[in-house]
Structure 1
Amino acid sequence: MGGHWYRLDGCYRGKRRWKCARGCAARIHTVGKRLVFSDLRHRLQVVYNNKGYPKLALNGYYYRPHNAYRNQPKVLWYCAARNKYQCPARLRTINREVVAVMGLHNHVR
């Protein structure tokens, strides 16, 4: 998920708990193939430009928020290089927590 490997840490009543294979604090929970919880702490930070516009930095890539959702609890973020490289990578946050990483980057950092 998001270019990271996870190892199975435990199961209980169909829910699987996964931890980052690199040993960092990131973890996810799944039921079947559905993600039900994520706590992604892989070098995630929000940076602001001089006009106060937010960008999300995750693993060396930058994402910009979709304008329609920018001030909502659930935000869709597109790769900042979407227009330049037609990059399909995007992610979704709910209350500033990454819950889904979709697509792969088609360019270098």
Structure 2
Amino acid sequence: MSGFWYKLDACYKGKRRWTCAKGCGARIHTSGKKVVFSELRHRLQVIYNEKGYPKLVLDGYYYRPHNAYRNQPKVLWYCASRNKFHCPASLRTYKREVVAVEGKHNHEP
């Protein structure tokens, strides 16, 4: 799901609970082949350039923050290659945890 691997954690009443294979705490619940609950809080790495501008690194891809949200708890991040490759990938964070991943990268990391 969203480029992340999950491992089976538990089964109950026909549902399955899956947790992130990297052990970061993200989880999903499925019933059959349908996702019935998701909490996509993957931990991430934020790096800063020499001017103090943040970049987020997730699975080898770099993201830059939307300027309007840069200093807020909720941040919208665009792929750093958005202009070069017209990459539609983006993600949203809340207090430095990924809560939504949107679009797929159309280039290699």
Q: Distance in 1 between matches of 2:48 and 2:22?
A: 26
- Tell me which amino acid in the other structure corresponds to 1:62: Y
Measure, in 2, the Cα distance between the counterparts of 1:98 and 1:87: 19
Distance 1:3 1:24 in 2: 12
Q: Could you state the TM-score of these two structures normalised by the residue count of structure 1?
A: 0.80
Change (3 A) 1:69 1:101: same
AA paired with 1:69? Y
User: TM-score normalised to the size of structure 2?
Assistant: 0.80
Identical-pair percentage: 64
Match of 1:25 in 2: 23
- Name the SS of the counterpart of 2:40 in structure 1: strand
Which residues of 2 match residues 90-109 of structure 1 at below 5 A?
Answer: 90-109=90-109
Q: State the Cα RMSD in Å.
A: 2.3
The answer on whether the counterparts of 1:87 and 1:106 sit within 8 Å (CA) in structure 2 is yes
Unaligned runs of 5+ in 1: none
CA contact (8 A) 1:2 1:101 kept: yes
Instruction: Name the larger-Rg structure.
Output: 2
Alignment length (residue pairs): 104
Q: Deviations over 1:37-56 (max 9, x none)?
A: 23314xx3100011100000
CA distance in 1, matches of 2:76, 2:11: 30
The SS at the match of 2:83 is helix
Quick one: structure 1 residues 9 and 105, their matched pair in 2 at CA, closer, same or farther if it must change by over 3 Å? same
- How far the C-alpha of 1:76 sits from its partner, in A, is 0.4
- Judging changes above 3 Å, is the alpha-carbon distance between structure 1 residues 11 and 70 closer, same or farther for their aligned structure 2 residues? farther
